Amino acid sequence: MSGHTWTTGPASALAGEIVVPGDKSISHRAIMLAALADGTSQVEGFLEGEDTRATARIFADLGVRIETPNASRRVVHGVGLDGLREAARPLDCGNSGTGMRLLCGVLAGQAFASTLVGDESLSRRPMGRVTEPLAAMGARIDTRDGGLPPLRITGGSRLRGIAYATPVASAQVKSAVLLAGLYAEGETEVREAHPTRDYTERMLAAFGWPIAFEPGRARLAGGHRLRATDVVVPADFSSAAFFLVAASIVPGSRVLLRAVGLNPRRTGLLQALRLMGADIREHAAREQGGETVADLEVRHARLRGIDVPLDLVPDMIDEFPALFAAAAVADGTTRVRGAAELRVKESDRIAVMAEGLRRLGITIDETPDGATIAGGRLDGGEVDSAGDHRIAMSFAVAGAVARAPVRIDDCANVATSFPGFPALARGIGLALAET
């Protein structure tokens, strides 16, 4: 595959203060709910990444006026629940599973037809997990064989509420069903065996939609309206994660990450790293836009391998590439189980991380739902990120403690979630060159 190549070399102590960009999950949802609301909403701290910009572009194609007065701000002129209009072309979600799955829920409730398409990676990702419950609500959605994109949503269906127990822990599935529920007759309920991030529920409440929710359960009924609301997007914990690992593993480091979102359904990595012996302190915890944020101070610490507790898995599902990097240089063995979902992310994250770490001299055994990683010393070498943003950034961090330079291929997709990563990384002392 094509794309940028990065080279990272051994780094000396990392130091400095960083503000990472806005939360991806919240940025997608802010555009969606603001577009469907009555009135004008301001979104501050919007993630200027390819994934979230794709979502904003799609709503523009659906007739919503969205202004960008300056970077990381959007002014969304909502059209109301029934104000979207048919797009003249297929709606391109790019690399974004969140965009496609949540939009599928929104578009299932429209009077018109839509087609959702994505890039090569997204076109391989399972959509049956959303099209099946939406079909049970009365939607008509065609997929390619195996439930793969493109998704052709017929529209014009009368939706009815369902009670749905999600078979996989997935905030995207839960959100797609709840968003379709806005357009459904009667009550829609989603139950989850493992609670997942609750941003859709919180934001629906903030936009004035009556919703009852608690961990593992959310319930709403159709027939209400969304009221324009300003949204302040906190810094993305998943972007902070790379620096939490980097400063933990590079001797002598001290890095401060400002105002990071600490929603408990996102911070499993913080707990896992602490179990490994990491020195991460939270300062000045405060509320920002309905979410808790805090400054995270990370100092180098000697890490040891752990068995990652099963109940942490959904709360750190996006952080496993970073965790694998930490485990590769920890003392002893780290075991990951219960994480089969990693195989259907932007890449097969178990296989791609295992392949790359092996190339750098680490012993790692894959299982269908995880891996056993024997911590050791990383050699230099060449690894492939498989076009997966989080894999590229994880190897960029691991390379800081390798014996020799690590070359990482196919890094262009880092722009989907964290376009400024290389510059911020260099700013605290990572030796990262881009070609």
Contact flag: residue 51 with ligand S3P (CB under 6 A): no
Q: Applying CB under 6 A, which part among 55-63, 167-175, 229-237, 305-313 lies near ligand S3P?
A: 167-175
Asked whether the CA dihedral 257, 263, 269, 274 is positive or negative, the reply is: positive
123 marked as binding residue: no
Please report, for residues 173, 360, 365, the alpha-carbon distance to residue 314 in angstroms, rounded to integers and kept in the order given.
14, 28, 21
Give the residue from 276, 292, 322, 337 showing the smallest Cα distance to 417.
322
Beta partners for residue 42, in sequence order: 75
User: ∠ at Cα 122 (120, 126), nearest 5°?
Assistant: 125
Beta partners for residue 115, in sequence order: 152
Contact flag: residue 413 with ligand S3P (CB under 6 A): no
Tell me whether residue 95 or residue 334 sits nearer to ligand S3P (CB atom): 95
Contact flag: residue 27 with ligand S3P (CB under 6 A): no
Q: Which of residues 300-329 bind ligand S3P (CB under 6 A)?
A: 317-318
390 marked as binding residue: yes
Contact flag: residue 170 with ligand S3P (CB under 6 A): yes
Contact flag: residue 98 with ligand S3P (CB under 6 A): yes
Residue 318 annotated in active site: yes
Contact flag: residue 248 with ligand S3P (CB under 6 A): no
Nearest-angstrom CA–CA distance, 420 and 128: 34
Q: Which of residues 185-214 bind ligand S3P (CB under 6 A)?
A: 197
Q: Which of residues 333-372 bind ligand S3P (CB under 6 A)?
A: 341
DSSP labels for 15-38? EEEE---B-HHHHHHHHHHHHHSE
* Minimal distance, residue 139 CB to ligand S3P, in Å: 19
User: ∠ at Cα 405 (403, 409), nearest 5°?
Assistant: 135
* Minimal distance, residue 284 CB to ligand S3P, in Å: 26
Q: Applying CB under 6 A, which part among 166-174, 251-259, 301-309, 424-432 lies near ligand S3P?
A: 166-174
CB-based contact 179:200 (threshold 8 Å): yes
Asked whether the CA dihedral 37, 216, 105, 28 is positive or negative, the reply is: positive
CB-based contact 19:93 (threshold 8 Å): no
Contact flag: residue 25 with ligand S3P (CB under 6 A): yes
Tell me whether residue 260 or residue 317 sits nearer to ligand S3P (CB atom): 317
Contact flag: residue 121 with ligand S3P (CB under 6 A): no
Tell me whether residue 131 or residue 170 sits nearer to ligand S3P (CB atom): 170
Task: Tell me which of 23, 318, 384, 410 is the catalytic residue.
Answer: 318
Amino acid of residue 104: C
Tell me whether residue 106 or residue 171 sits nearer to ligand S3P (CB atom): 171
In what helix (H) or strand (E) does residue 357 lie, and over which residues does it extend?
helix 349-359
Residues annotated within a binding site for 3-phosphoshikimate: 24-25, 29, 170, 172, 318, 345
Active site members: 318
Residues of this chain that bind ligand S3P (CB under 6 A): 25, 98, 170-172, 175, 197, 317-318, 341
